[in-house]
Structure 1
């Protein structure tokens, strides 16, 4: 059973980052909207290499997510299907699904706008500001996530990622990887 705290975290990711059209479920259209939002954030047009790379990555993530989480095969991921899938992950976080690995790497690369292999506060906050969170809250979240350091590496991010989806500790640094300061 998923605790209320973990459920709030899962719903934050579901509603803020996946259910882009507000339909109450995740479908391919949500991913198409995410592609447009991210491309706008980065200033890419539909013919740019980075646009095509982002489109390819997100559609691959959608296909892998749908094949795993869409248990009733209706072409959508419901809140219940979403929570159930992440509950399974929490039981064995050392064996993530393919789409979870792809999504984790995608988010890290999105946040690492400079491509230098680390995320800093400015990169982090600009991404979450584009998803409707306040820049100041995102900067506070980054400080908590990074444990006061100026940067977060890929290996650190991977541990924070697992922590976000598994921990019951409200003060755990991983709780802040999606820019929110409280649940």
Structure 2
């Protein structure tokens, strides 16, 4: 059973992924996310990063649909999304695609491509997602726990905390740019 706190986090991320605002997540949302990502980074068709972006997004959608689309209607509802995360928290079978997705999100937030996410990177990524600078700075401070940069290893731990932790004080709760879920 997912706690109210964890449900709030998961629904926040769900709404972020619902790029077309339809109230459900489907392949179109992931295609829009990939189009936005390549546009924001200036990647062009034929670039390795362009291909990697679309390949990763396709892989994530296919895995998400397989695991999360309980009624096989081609969409993942908010309830299916929350149920999926409750199931994933008890299973190691989905760790591979989640790990690849985590690495992709890290790369998208590492704007200067130095292998780390610093406050400037995080604020830039937050601006694209509609997060205010103040909110992004506050979230980064909680995420980084006083460090100036977040490594991929740090990010992977924070990623797991966001999706799996019931602890309201876990630093990973702030990976989505919010500094609170009240």
- What is the TM-score with the length of structure 1 in the denominator? 0.91
RMSD value, Cα? 1.6
Q: How far is 1:50 from its partner?
A: 2.1
For residue 73 of structure 2, give the secondary structure of its aligned residue in structure 1: coil
Aligned to 1:15: 15
Aligned to 2:105: 107
Structure 1 unmatched ranges of 5 or more:
none
- In structure 2, the CA distance between the partners of 1:104 and 1:74, relative to structure 1 (3 Å rule), is same
1:147-166 aligned within 5 A: 147-166=145-164
Q: Which moved more, 1:167-176 or 1:73-82?
A: 167-176
Contact 1:124–1:138, Cα closer than 8 Å, also in 2: yes
1:5-84 aligned within 5 A: 5-16=5-16, 18-84=17-83
Q: Which moved more, 1:162-171 or 1:66-75?
A: 162-171
Q: What does the per-residue CA deviation read over 1:135-173, in whole Å, with 9 as the maximum and x for residues that have no partner?
A: 221111011100021001111111111111222222221
Structure 2 unmatched ranges of 5 or more:
none
- In structure 2, the CA distance between the partners of 1:24 and 1:33, relative to structure 1 (3 Å rule), is same
Out of 141, 148, 165, the position equivalent to 1:167 is 165
Q: Which moved more, 1:18-27 or 1:131-140?
A: 131-140
Aligned to 2:87: 88
Structure 1 position 141 matched with structure 2 position 139: yes
> What is the rounded CA distance, in whole Å, between the counterparts of 1:125 and 1:133 in structure 2?
8
